[in-house]
Amino acid sequence: MSSLVGRRRNVPWIHRWSRQIIGAIAILGTINTAYITITKLSKTVAACPTSGCERVLDSPYATIFGLPLALFGLAAYVGMAIFALAPLAVNPEQNRKLRANLESVTWRLLFIGATAMTVFSGYLMYIMGSQFVSKFGAGGICYYCIASALFALSMFVLTLIGRDWDDVGQLFVLGIITLMVTLIGTLVVYAPISNTTATPQVTASGNVGAPIVNTSSTAEIELAKHLKQIGAKMYGAYWCPHCHDQKELFGKEAAAIYPYVECAPDGVNSKTEVCQEIAPKIEKQTGQNFGFPTWEIKGQYLTGTQQLTDLATKSGYQGPRNFKNGA
């Protein structure tokens, strides 16, 4: 009995507590990604000290296969929490063999998962730096993304130092394979986004945003004229992908007519002060943070991209509704 106690005392504390620490970090990551997923699915704006979170989380890079990227991160963190904590539920005195087998298998799964998450997070940090921080400075920082990257890196380090690995060479090979598979998969997934993401147009007076591809039919043009006539407004930013989606629904001809208010300070014809003044009213009425796009129609505020039929109905539009680009 004394020898058993002695062996336990000789085990480094990090080996005794590594699973619990990894599990705790995975739970924090789960909370982080769950919050982002909820805001994406509910089309609300995540709380953030700067506009960087909205810029990054609303970009094409934050969506994979039509689903929020955070949803896949949520699944990964839940898996890591299970791998880390599940073996602890088995009593080693009663089921020593089962406990040992579970620990052996889950340690490898933890290493593979942490390696893949660290590589993927590293790529996302590169995207954030090159596509957002380089252009907007502090306004391009997504703090939720940084937190997730730090969680992944912390778990990776803990899988390395959290136990004695018998075959370091085999672990190295496993890590290289995981790195290559993750990196290739990441590049394949993001290649279409990188190739199709339009570069914002820049004029002498500011950024215009990505060019509008769709053309307008008579219905879209008449609706745009009506919205302008009744004093409706759409508050947006040139870098906002949802604002661009709204413009594509109208088409290039109608988008040049309807009343658009540019809120980005470096956007063309920027009216940042107007957006700052209206923001408290929007947040009070909607109960949501001021985000883009937001429509103001007859004293009512509508958040997010709106279908043209909804805009027509809420604005009292009586013209043709055979909209070409969307219902």
- Mind listing the pLDDT tens digit for each residue in 270-287? 999 999 999 999 999 988
The owner of tokens 């689903």 is: 67
- Mind listing the pLDDT tens digit for each residue in 137-173? 887 899 999 999 999 999 999 999 999 998 899 999 9
- Mind listing the pLDDT tens digit for each residue in 174-188? 999 999 999 999 999
- Mind listing the pLDDT tens digit for each residue in 185-218? 999 988 766 554 545 555 556 787 778 888 898 9
Mean pLDDT taken over the chain: 88
pLDDT at 275: 94
- Mind listing the pLDDT tens digit for each residue in 46-100? 888 877 787 788 788 888 888 999 999 999 999 999 999 999 999 988 889 999 9
- Mind listing the pLDDT tens digit for each residue in 300-318? 999 988 999 999 999 999 9
Alpha carbon separation from 283 to 39, 272, 291, 293 (Å, rounded):
15, 16, 9, 13
pLDDT at 111: 97
How is domain 10-196 classified at the CATH fold level? de novo design (two linked rop proteins) (1.20.1440)
pLDDT at 247: 92
- Mind listing the pLDDT tens digit for each residue in 214-249? 889 899 999 999 999 999 999 999 888 888 889 989
pLDDT at 6: 46
Instruction: Locate the domains of the chain by residue range.
Output: 10-196, 202-315
106: which 2 tokens?
A: 């889950």
Contacts for 83 with CB less than 8 Å, ≥ 6 apart: 106, 109, 110, 113
Looking at domain 202-315, its CATH class is alpha beta
Query: Does the global pTM surpass 0.75?
Result: no
pLDDT at 200: 54
